[in-house]
Structure 1
Amino acid sequence: MEIIPAIDLLDGNCVRLNQGDYNRVTHFNNDPVKQALYWQSQGATRLHLVDLDAARSGLPKNDSSILAIAKAVNIPIQLGGGVRTKERVKELIEYGLDKVILGTIAIEKPLMVKELADLYPQKIIVGIDAKNGKVATQGWLNQSDVLATELAKSFRDIDISSIICTDISTDGTLAGPNLQAMRDVAGVSNVPVIASGGVGSIADIIALLPLESIGVTGIIVGRALYDNAFELQEANKVVRNYNLQDPPKENVFNA
């Protein structure tokens, strides 16, 4: 299980939204590069970047920060938020990003996702952001009637890297992850699933660890780290110790 610190960018600052609400913003750092280097120094093996400006408007406003982070760190970076064209995907990969996350177009233009996955094998992540089991798009501003599980199923035969499953109702709340939502998506996916939303304590990390056996291979953590609810090094130690044990298993991952 990989613990992945999140850096959410809004107007060049590191922030967190509460349940995806742009009117409920908490600012944490005005130097995203410094923040990225800090997470790397604390043992991060990957960074999760979100361009919140682009997610809302479709217009990238944080490219200078994204480029600077890519040049400064030597660990892989995955980025999402407002990535809705082939040209943008190409641009981000040329910036040096390891993987690009497609959210809105995964539901609006699934054929484009397949084309991009063919062009960039294992470089594309599908982001499934859901509330009450249904997918939201356009920076979580629009709610669809598509079930998260059905969307996950539709990408079974496409060479994507993974699926990020975000539960909007818990994101930024520190109230604990939606374990059932993660189980549901992992249960129908044949690629790894990365869990996102609600992690507020080490106990939440521990609760997610058994899901690794059904294909949940990463946990994105944002506000809990910024609020010092626990340290990244502490979370990584918990994962290492768990792996040394013979933990209880969920259902076998359907690879």
Structure 2
Amino acid sequence: MVILPAIDLKDGQCVRLFRGDYSTAHRVAASAVQTAEQFQKSGAKWLHMVDLNGAKAAVPVNSKLIFQVVRSTDLKVELGGGIRTMQAVEHYLQSGISRVILGSAALADPDFTAKAVRKYGDQIAIGIDARNGMVAAEGWTHTSHMDYIELAKRVEAVGTQYIIMTDIDRDGMLTGPNLEMLEKLQKAVSCKIIASGGVSRAKDIEDLKALHLYGVICGKALYNGDLKLEEALEIAEEK
């Protein structure tokens, strides 16, 4: 299982949120670049990044800082937030991003999503963020009437290989991942599932590994010290 430490960017700073609420943003590290470098020193191979401003504005916002992170490490970076056009997808992939995440676009523009998946294959991941099982979008400010399994099956049908699943109510709360939701998704589609939200301790990594998921994103627990990245990597047997 792949461990992906997370860096969320808002106004050029490395922050974390509670349940996706932008008003709760608080700085968790002095430098995104230094944080990424430390993740690499600890043994990470992948980095999960989100442009929070971009997610809300529907266009890339923190690109300059994101590219600084890419240039300063050897980490493979998957990136989401504000990627709504083929031009944005191409710009990021041509500039060193390994995998881009389509979230709101997957819900609002299935034709664009299908074209991106067909053109770029495993360099595209679909981010499904759910609140009470219903897909949320626009930086989690809007909740749709579409069930997360329904959207997962729709994107699977066009060839999606990776799905990043977030239970918004667990995100940033350190209450453990929604294992029931993840297990249901794992059984419903053939895509590789990356779990996001709620990871608080080593036991959570063990539980997620038992579901045979492809990967897990770790954020707040790493920053507050409840989970050591080296320990997570060892449990995942990535090292």
TM-score (normalizing by structure 1): 0.91
SS in 1 for 2:116: helix
Corresponding residue number in structure 2 for 1:174: 174
CA distance in 2, matches of 1:238, 1:120: 31
User: Could you give the per-residue CA deviations for residues 210-251 of structure 1, whole angstroms, max 9, x where no partner exists?
Assistant: 111xxx11000000000010210011112229x9xxxxxxxx
Give the match's secondary structure for 1:61. coil
TM alignment of 1:91-102, pairs within 5 A: 91-102=91-102
1:16 Cα offset (Å):
0.4
SS of the equivalent of 2:55 reads helix
SS of aligned partner of 1:74 = coil
Q: Which residue of 1 aligns with 2:229?
A: 232
The CA deviation at 1:147 is 0.2
Contact 2:60 2:88 in 1 (8 A): no
Q: What does 1:1-255 correspond to in 2, within 5 Å?
A: 1-212=1-212, 216-240=213-237
* Aligned positions, number: 239
Q: Percent identity?
A: 38
Question: How far apart are residue 190 of structure 1 and its match?
Answer: 1.2
The 2-side partners of 1:10 and 1:29 are apart by 12
The 8 Å contact of residues 18 and 25 in structure 1, kept in 2 or not, is answered as: yes
Within 1, Cα distance between the matches of 2:159 and 2:64? 30
* TM-aligned CA deviation for residue 38 of structure 1: 0.7
Question: SS at the partner of 1:106?
Answer: helix
Q: Does the 8 Å CA contact 1:174/1:200 hold for their aligned counterparts? A: yes
**Counterpart secondary structure, 1:121:** helix
Output the amino acid matched with 2:70.
Answer: A
Measured after TM superposition, the shift of residue 82 of structure 1 is 1.2
Counterpart CA distance in 1 for 2:56 and 2:67 is: 20
Specify the alignment match of 1:248 in structure 2.
none
In structure 2, how many angstroms separate the alpha carbons of the residues matched to 1:44 and 1:161?
A: 22
Distance in structure 2 (CA, Å) of the matches to 1:20 and 1:208: 22
> RCO (CA 8 Å, sep 6+): is it higher in 1 or 2?
2
Secondary structure of 2:184's counterpart equals: helix
Does the Cα contact within 8 Å between 1:2 and 1:217 map onto a contact in 2? yes
Counterparts of 1:235 and 1:29, CA distance in 2: 20
Matched AA of 2:201: S
**CA-CA distance at 1:184 after TM superposition:** 1.6
What is the Cα deviation at residue 31 of structure 1? Answer: 1.3
Question: CA offsets per residue over residues 52-74 of structure 1, 9 Å max, x none?
Answer: 00011123221111111111111
Aligned counterparts of 1:4 and 1:24: Cα–Cα separation in 2: 23
Q: How many angstroms apart in 1 are the aligned matches of 2:156 and 2:207?
A: 26
Structure possessing the higher radius of gyration over alpha carbons: 1
- TM-score (normalised: structure 2): 0.97
How much is the aligned-residue C-alpha RMSD, in angstroms?
Answer: 1.4
Distance in 1 (CA, whole Å) between partners of 2:128 and 2:220 is: 20
The 3-state SS of whatever aligns with 1:149 is helix
